[in-house]
């Protein structure tokens, strides 16, 4: 049987909640490390993120904004 070419990666949000802590929002995506050697990162909607002190979002502090999601490796379930 051939070895699988894909790995699961966890994309975690860089957004912060109202208390200034990470939101914990993430999603899982498959990636082929032979074809795509660099890590995945892109902007996506985080429903828990709020504006920071620099005013990168409106001043109403309503949750939800687009933030950068970066790749983290999933832990190996067999280990």
Are the CB atoms for 36 and 3 separated by under 8 Å? no
| Domain with 40 in it | 7-73
| Gyration radius (Cα) of the chain, Å | 16
Residue 79 is predicted with a pLDDT of 57
Cα 54 to Cα 23, 57, 59, distances in angstroms: 18, 8, 10
DSSP letter (8 states) at residue 2? P
Q: Does any domain span residue 1? A: no
Q: Give the chain's domain count.
A: 1
Q: Does any domain span residue 78? A: no
Averaged over successive runs of 10 residues, the pLDDT of the chain (79 residues) comes to: 81 89 91 89 91 58 85 72
Could you give the count of Cα atoms lying within 13 Å of 25 in the half-sphere of its Cβ? 21
Residue 64 is predicted with a pLDDT of 86
Q: Does any domain span residue 42? A: yes
Are the CB atoms for 13 and 22 separated by under 8 Å? yes
Q: Does any domain span residue 79? A: no
Neighbour tally for 71: CB within 10 Å = 16
Q: Does any domain span residue 11? A: yes
């Amino acid at each position: 049987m051939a070895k699988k070419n894909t790995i699961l990666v966890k994309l975690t949000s860089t957004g912060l909640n109202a208390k200034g802590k990470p939101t914990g929002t993430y999603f899982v995506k498959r990636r082929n490390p032979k074809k795509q050697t660099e890590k995945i990162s892109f902007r996506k909607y985080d429903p828990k993120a709020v504006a920071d002190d620099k005013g990168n979002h409106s001043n109403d502090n309503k949750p939800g904004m687009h933030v950068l999601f970066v790749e983290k490796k999933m832990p190996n379930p067999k280990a």
